[in-house]
Each structure stands twice: as C-alpha cells, then as structure tokens.
Amino acid sequence: MRRALLNSAREKRAVPHPRDRSVRQLEKKEKRAIRLDAQKTRLKTEKTLQLMRFFWFREQCITLGYTTAAVPDETVAQLVQLYVGRNKEEMSALQMQRNPPVGRIKVLEATLQVEEDELHSAKGLRVPNMTDAHDVEILTEIWDGTQETVTVVPVTGFSMQHRTPPTKEALEELLQRLRPVAEIRKEAPVKLPKGVIKFHAAQLRNKVSVKKREDTALSVRLRVKAREEAKQQKRLTEQRRAAMARCRGVPTEDDAKVRGEPTWKE
C-alpha cells in the first residue's frame, strides 16, 4: 500500500502544473520561435517584392532607351502608375474563368491595394531613383539584377499625393512601348525550389547540438521512446540469431571468438 502511494506521488510530481515555471518557459520559447519565423517570412517577402520591382523598372528603362540619361518626371509618373496596375489584366482574365482561383485573385487584389495606398501616401512607393542620370546608369548598367547587389540601387519614395494623375491615353501610349510583364517575370531572378530549401534547412538542423534545440516535453518523450524501441529491437535480433545458431549447431559469435571458428549470420 505504501509503495502504491509513493508511485502515485511520483506520477503526480512527473506531470507539471499548467502554470509551472518550466511550462511557462517552454510556452515562451515556442511563441518566440513562431514570432521569429513570421518575421523572417515577412522580411523575405518584402525583399523579394523589392527585387522584382527594381528589376521591372530596370528592364523598362532599358527598353525606353534611358540607360545613361535621366527619365522625365512625367514618364516616371506614368511608369509608376503602370507598375501598380500591372496585375489588373490578369485579375480580369481570372475572374472571367468558369472556376476562378479565389486565392490567386485575393493575393493580386491585396497587392494592388497595398501598393496604391503607398503610392498615395506621404512617404510614397519605394522605387529606384530615375530622375538623376547617374542613378539611372547605376540601375541599368552597374546593377546586375540580383538580390545580393540590389543595395547599390538608389531608392526614392514616389508619391502621387500632390501630383496630377496621368491621362489614360498617355498610359496606353507608353504601354505599347514597354515590355510585357510576362516576359520580365521569365527573365527575373528565380528562387530555389521549396524542396531544396527544406533539404538545406534539415541539413543545417542536423549539425546543431541536441542540447541547443528548443524541444518540448512531448518531443523529448518521443525521442526517448524511439531510442528504447531501437535498443529492444537490436536485443531481440541478437537473441534470435543466437537461437537459430544453436538449432543449426553453429557456434555463436561469442563461442567462435573464443575458438577462432567462423560464425553463422542470417
């Protein structure tokens, strides 16, 4: 009876209280890890969008012939307006389908709304500085179009808050001279596939010490259980091999080591 009471007391002590300090520390670590992952994803998305935006303006400046000369202010306003509305044609085509992809349409609508809000704000939309000849030369000639060297491109905030919006005729006329968005996307810098990224992330995690990982109590229990099952399986395999050797009259590994005879294996 006394032993049963001691065992029940140990089990109660083994299960931590929901408001225990160790439990709260684990919850705090998990929340911090989730917050850091979300922050990394957001920063990576912002860098990717900035890279694609700069690449679009770079290709259009080269198409228009502005490689060493400054772009006129009216042309810059038209280019920015066309860039913000670059996905409207795709949105219209998707909405005309019989089964439109709702997720893709929502992403395009959200992107359009965010960029329009930035364009009409006081800070403006962050675009390459195209009103200076030296900055245009850096954008078109010096920058190679990769993410590693995008920091050399001079940036400015372009706002339409106190500007007269360009006319529809001017936008259509300039659009005929520009390269299509699909062609620019094909030539844009590509990313590694998700499978490759996951593989490299797994390889990096394997190099980290087990003591430095942020493990929960459940993961620790699962790892201990898997290790015990592996040991038990190895022990059963050795016992089975010894029993089969005795049945066939073949010396086991221990006897063979002593006598110097060959052993039997499955």
**pLDDT above 90: residue 250:** no
- Type of residue found at 145: G
Which pLDDT belongs to residue 146?
A: 83
Domain assignment present for residue 239? The answer is yes
Domain assignment present for residue 120? The answer is yes
Helix (H) or strand (E) holding 90: helix 88-95
The Cα–Cα gap between 57 and 123 comes to 19
Output the pTM of the full model: 0.60
Domain assignment present for residue 47? The answer is yes
The Cα–Cα gap between 97 and 170 comes to 30
Domain assignment present for residue 207? The answer is no
Maximal CA-CA distance, the chain: 100
Give the DSSP letter of residue 152: G
The residues, any chain, with a CB within 8 Å of residue 163's CB and separated by 6 or more, are 77
Which pLDDT belongs to residue 238?
A: 85
If DSSP codes are grouped into helix, strand and coil, which group holds residue 109? Answer: helix
- pLDDT tens, 51-81? 889 999 999 999 999 988 999 999 999 999 9
Which pLDDT belongs to residue 222?
A: 78
Number of domains in the chain: 2
**Structure token digits, residue 167:** 């006319």
- pLDDT tens, 114-126? 999 999 999 999 9
Q: Are residues 39 and 104 in the same domain?
A: yes
The Cα–Cα gap between 170 and 164 comes to 13
* Cβ contact 189:146 at 8 Å: yes
* Cβ contact 152:146 at 8 Å: no
Containing structural domain, residue 253:
215-266
